Amino acid sequence: MHFNVTEHPTAHWTGEQIIQVFPDGNEPRYLLRDRDGIYGEEFKERIQAIGIKEIKILPMAPKRSIPNG
């Protein structure tokens, strides 16, 4: 099991984590992810290089405030 934490993740750091999680070639075919800006071009290139296809979830609708009462 791989576990790593940082307060300020970058696309480079995130891409390195995905490589370290699957060192022996048992990576999944798909990666379901949100649309956070942390997944930059470097991250995309790294997952494509190891054969993972990314699937982005749909953007969330804005939250509506619900009146109390």
pTM of the model: 0.69
Question: Residue 2 domain-assigned?
Answer: no
Question: Residue 54 domain-assigned?
Answer: yes
Question: Residue 51 domain-assigned?
Answer: yes
| pLDDT tens by residue, 25-67 | 889 999 999 988 888 888 999 999 999 999 999 887 666 666 6
Which residue do the tokens 């997952």 mark? 47
Question: Residue 65 domain-assigned?
Answer: no
Number of domains, the chain: 1
Pair of tokens at residue 54: 């990314």
| Distance in angstroms (rounded) separating the CA atoms of residues 62 and 60 | 6
Question: Residue 44 domain-assigned?
Answer: yes
Question: Residue 18 domain-assigned?
Answer: no
- Rounded to 10 deg, the angle between the 11-21 and 41-49 helix axes is 20
Question: Residue 19 domain-assigned?
Answer: no
Instruction: Supply the range of the domain harboring residue 55.
Output: 29-59
